[in-house]
């Protein structure tokens, strides 16, 4: 069915509210195209999109259809689905609570017990709660760090991990077999199951486990000030509780603590956006705080800023902060005799090469996966069930997500800000600011600079342009930039790495990602986003000095665009 047919189907349906029809009538041609040119995709990361009426939007109809599909999937896969149940949580966004209650209602009417919280909770706590309640699945209503107009729907398996491709493919098929979102119907079972509101034991157990991961809790915290913001999201209560229990001097950004769906106290809730640091750094300057930490709205990502050796506040990329945190964790565990002889660190194919070098320095192996923390969570579960290692030491993505202890199977912002704070405090007590720590890592492993750039493509034409761009690069990957030649290419869609003299199979699921390896050690990975209409360019360089490293990525990106003619 085409765009206008879908539009008119909604406009003429008795199921669509008059208020939504009024929105439809006021849409421009471009808005109609974007809202109706396709169904909102349920992919390997669930659903994420703009709120509002339309087939390519998040609304009660698209959420109901997804939940009907998930209920059918669970009943097909698990004999104990009815009694084991599903845990559902949500963030602070518009419609998040409504979508949570709708999801719970549909599941219960399929005979599946639904567990919900009394209010918003972070994504990592949802992951933990699935495991704690011994449920067979989970749903998180969130659009993570996306703008306020968005929301999303993520599904989890019985291990507390988002569904990996070989698990979610059946769910996608079931959803695809259903009628369109306005015509999906079902008959409630005779024995409608319960919707149970979880008590605070889940919070208590989760917080207790977060507090247990500290490595040097005996460090003197006196005079070490931390500024914290949850960006109006889900982490405020848990974070303040953890900091208070462990004796940290923490100051919240009060204008950003309420769970405001309009994010009125910040210009951006995304730790990758420098605007998100404006208010926290303003407070840090007033307090002369040594550290600023933040979580994104659903509490799985963490950003930080710090007071440098010159008395100025600087921010860190996800690659930089994770490399320093990895070094601190492995160094400390080695000193304490707690580092596994058969340890492993997980990251992704688009993260910096620095992390792998740090891990190797401590005798820890590295395994890389496609973007998406579900692959890391799934691997943790695989080795845990096998029982003979390798043993998890750390996992991270460049996009400000990491996991220190695997009682959750998703990236965990509370764990992250706690150990980042301890790391910064440790170095502070030893007379080092984090820029000094970063420079020391560069001296040991080479000065790495990794940056991510994005180009947005909106609407149906944008989707075609994204495909055309990837096709053009795929057909001519052995390019040259300013005399610097590509000598190896990994194409994760065809699952092959090619170099001048050999070809190797990539043992990972198919994904539309191309990574170029240049003669001088530079890497460029190109990946269409799985949740937004954009193509991301991950550029990594290694230089002989900090100053040289900082200059290279921006110029390389501009030169690369010229070669690609974009």
At a CB cut-off of 8 Å and minimum separation 6, what does 464 contact? none
Are 119 and 132 in the same domain?
A: yes
- Residue 230 lies in domain: 206-445
Q: Tell me the per-residue pLDDT of 345-385, one tens digit each, with 9 for 90 and over.
A: 999 999 999 999 999 999 999 999 999 999 999 999 999 99
pLDDT exceeds 80 at position 221: yes
pLDDT exceeds 90 at position 204: yes
CA dist 472 and 140 (Å) reads: 36
250: burial class by Cβ within 10 Å (0-12, 13-18, 19+)? buried
Q: Would you state the pLDDT for residue 34? A: 92
pLDDT exceeds 80 at position 496: yes
Residue ending a domain, choose from 422, 445, 468: 445
CA dist 16 and 9 (Å) reads: 10
Over range 323-329, report the average pLDDT.
98
Q: Would you state the pLDDT for residue 457? A: 84
Q: How confident is the model at residue 46 (pLDDT cuts 50, 70, 90)?
A: confident
In 4-149 the beta strands, taken as DSSP E runs, fall at 47-50, 86-90, 114-116, 137-141
Q: Would you state the pLDDT for residue 364? A: 98
Over range 387-413, report the average pLDDT.
96
Over range 388-401, report the average pLDDT.
95
Contact 268, 275 (CB under 8 A): yes
Looking at residue 547, which CATH number applies to its domain?
3.30.310.50
Instruction: Kindly report the backbone phi and psi dihedral angles of residue 293, in degrees, each rounded to the nearest multiple of 5, phi listed first.
Output: -130, 150
Are 368 and 485 in the same domain?
A: no
CA dist 294 and 414 (Å) reads: 9
Residue ending a domain, choose from 386, 411, 445: 445
Burial 310-345 (b: 16+ CB within 10 A, else e): eeebbbbbbbbbbbbbbbbbbbbbeeeeebeeebbb
Residue ending a domain, choose from 445, 474, 505: 445
Contact 436, 290 (CB under 8 A): no
Q: How confident is the model at residue 195 (pLDDT cuts 50, 70, 90)?
A: very high
Nearest to 303 by CA among 281, 329, 288, 331: 281
Looking at residue 263, which CATH number applies to its domain?
3.40.120.10
Whole-model pTM: value is 0.93
pLDDT exceeds 90 at position 72: yes
Q: Would you state the pLDDT for residue 566? A: 82
CA dist 231 and 145 (Å) reads: 9
pLDDT exceeds 70 at position 530: no
Are 542 and 489 in the same domain?
A: yes
pLDDT exceeds 90 at position 532: no
Over range 310-315, report the average pLDDT.
98
Q: At what angle do helices 201-211 and 413-429 cross, to 10 degrees?
A: 30
pLDDT exceeds 70 at position 151: yes
Domain assignment present for residue 84? The answer is yes
CA dist 429 and 425 (Å) reads: 6
Are 250 and 337 in the same domain?
A: yes
Element of type H or E holding 393: strand 391-397
pLDDT exceeds 90 at position 565: no
Are 396 and 462 in the same domain?
A: no
Q: Would you state the pLDDT for residue 531? A: 60
Domain assignment present for residue 22? The answer is no
Are 391 and 470 in the same domain?
A: no
Q: Tell me the per-residue pLDDT of 414-468, one tens digit each, with 9 for 90 and over.
A: 999 999 999 999 999 999 999 999 999 999 999 999 999 999 887 777 778 888 8
| Structure token pair of residue 208 | 């207790």
Q: Would you state the pLDDT for residue 529? A: 78
Are 461 and 557 in the same domain?
A: yes
Domain assignment present for residue 5? The answer is no
Average pLDDT, the chain: 95
CA dist 63 and 52 (Å) reads: 12
Domain assignment present for residue 131? The answer is yes
Domain assignment present for residue 302? The answer is yes
Q: Tell me the per-residue pLDDT of 89-98, one tens digit each, with 9 for 90 and over.
A: 999 999 999 9
Are 76 and 217 in the same domain?
A: no
| Structure token pair of residue 446 | 């080479």
Q: How confident is the model at residue 77 (pLDDT cuts 50, 70, 90)?
A: very high
CA dist 47 and 66 (Å) reads: 9
Domain assignment present for residue 330? The answer is yes
**Total domains in the fold of the chain:** 3
Q: What percent of the chain has pLDDT over 90?
A: 91
144 catalytic residue (yes or no): yes
Domain assignment present for residue 427? The answer is yes
Instruction: Kindly report the backbone phi and psi dihedral angles of residue 497, in degrees, each rounded to the nearest multiple of 5, phi listed first.
Output: -110, 125
Edge-first strand listing for the sheet containing 114-116 = 47-50, 150-156, 137-141, 86-90, 114-116, 195-197
Q: How confident is the model at residue 1 (pLDDT cuts 50, 70, 90)?
A: confident
Q: Which of 96, 108, 127, 144 is catalytic?
A: 144
Are 555 and 406 in the same domain?
A: no
Domain assignment present for residue 153? The answer is yes
Are 374 and 311 in the same domain?
A: yes
Angle at 116 between CA 253 and CA 76, to 5 degrees: 135
Q: Would you state the pLDDT for residue 542? A: 94
Q: Would you state the pLDDT for residue 456? A: 87
Of the CA atoms within 13 Å of residue 522, those in its CB half-sphere come to 25
Are 217 and 352 in the same domain?
A: yes
Q: How confident is the model at residue 300 (pLDDT cuts 50, 70, 90)?
A: very high
Are 433 and 522 in the same domain?
A: no
């Amino acid at each position: 069915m085409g765009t206008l047919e879908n539009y008119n189907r909604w406009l003429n349906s008795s199921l669509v509210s008059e208020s939504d029809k009024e929105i439809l009538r006021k849409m421009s041609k471009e808005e109609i195209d974007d809202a109706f040119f396709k169904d909102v995709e349920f992919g390997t990361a669930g659903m994420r999109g703009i709120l509002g009426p339309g087939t390519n939007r998040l609304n009660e109809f698209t959420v109901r259809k997804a939940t009907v599909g998930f209920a059918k999937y669970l009943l097909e896969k698990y004999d104990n689905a009815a009694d084991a149940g599903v845990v559902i949580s949500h963030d602070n966004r518009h419609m998040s609570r409504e979508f949570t209650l709708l999801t719970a209602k549909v599941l219960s009417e399929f005979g599946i017990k639904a567990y919900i919280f009394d209010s918003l909770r972070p994504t990592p706590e949802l992951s933990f709660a699935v495991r704690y309640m011994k449920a067979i699945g989970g749903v998180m209503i969130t659009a993570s760090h996306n703008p306020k107009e968005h929301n999303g729907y993520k599904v989890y398996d019985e291990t507390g991990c988002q569904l990996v491709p070989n698990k979610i493919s059946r769910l996608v098929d079931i959803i695809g077999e259903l009628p369109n979102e306005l015509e999906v119907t079902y008959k409630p079972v005779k024995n409608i199951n319960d919707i149970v509101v979880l008590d605070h034991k889940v919070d208590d157990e989760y917080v207790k486990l977060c507090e247990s991961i500290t490595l040097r809790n005996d460090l003197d915290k006196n005079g070490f000030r931390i500024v914290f913001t949850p960006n109006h999201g889900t982490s405020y209560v848990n974070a303040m509780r953890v900091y208070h229990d462990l004796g940290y001097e923490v100051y919240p950004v009060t204008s950003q603590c309420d769970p405001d769906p309009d994010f009125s106290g910040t210009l951006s809730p995304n730790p990758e956006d420098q605007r998100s640091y404006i208010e926290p750094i303003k407070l840090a300057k007033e307090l002369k705080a040594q550290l600023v930490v933040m979580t994104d709205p659903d509490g799985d990502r963490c950003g930080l800023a710090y007071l440098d050796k010159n008395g100025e506040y600087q921010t860190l990329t996800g690659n930089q902060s994770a490399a320093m945190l990895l070094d601190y964790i492995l160094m400390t565990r080695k000193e304490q005799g707690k580092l596994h002889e058969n340890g492993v660190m997980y990251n992704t194919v688009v993260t910096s090469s620095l992390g792998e070098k740090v891990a190797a320095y401590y005798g820890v192996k590295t395994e890389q996966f496609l973007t998406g923390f579900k692959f890391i969570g799934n691997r943790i579960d695989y080795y845990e069930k096998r029982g003979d290692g390798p043993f998890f030491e750390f996992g991270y993505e460049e996009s400000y997500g990491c996991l220190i202890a695997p009682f959750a199977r998703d990236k965990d912002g509370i764990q992250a800000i706690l150990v980042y704070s301890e790391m910064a405090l440790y170095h502070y007590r030893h007379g080092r600011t984090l820029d000094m720590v970063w420079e020391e890592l560069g001296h040991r492993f080479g000065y790495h600079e990794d940056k991510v750039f994005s180009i947005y493509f909106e609407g149906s034409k944008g989707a075609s342009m994204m495909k055309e761009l990837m096709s053009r690069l795929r057909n001519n990957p052995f390019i040259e930039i300013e005399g610097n030649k590509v000598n190896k290419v990994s194409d994760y869609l065809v699952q092959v790495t090619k170099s001048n003299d050999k070809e190797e199979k990539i043992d990972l699921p198919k994904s539309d990602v191309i990574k170029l390896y240049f003669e001088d050690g530079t890497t460029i990975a190109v990946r269409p986003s799985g949740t937004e209409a954009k193509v991301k360019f991950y550029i990594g360089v290694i230089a002989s000095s900090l100053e040289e490293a900082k200059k290279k990525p921006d110029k390389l990106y501009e030169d690369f665009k010229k070669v690609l003619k974009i």
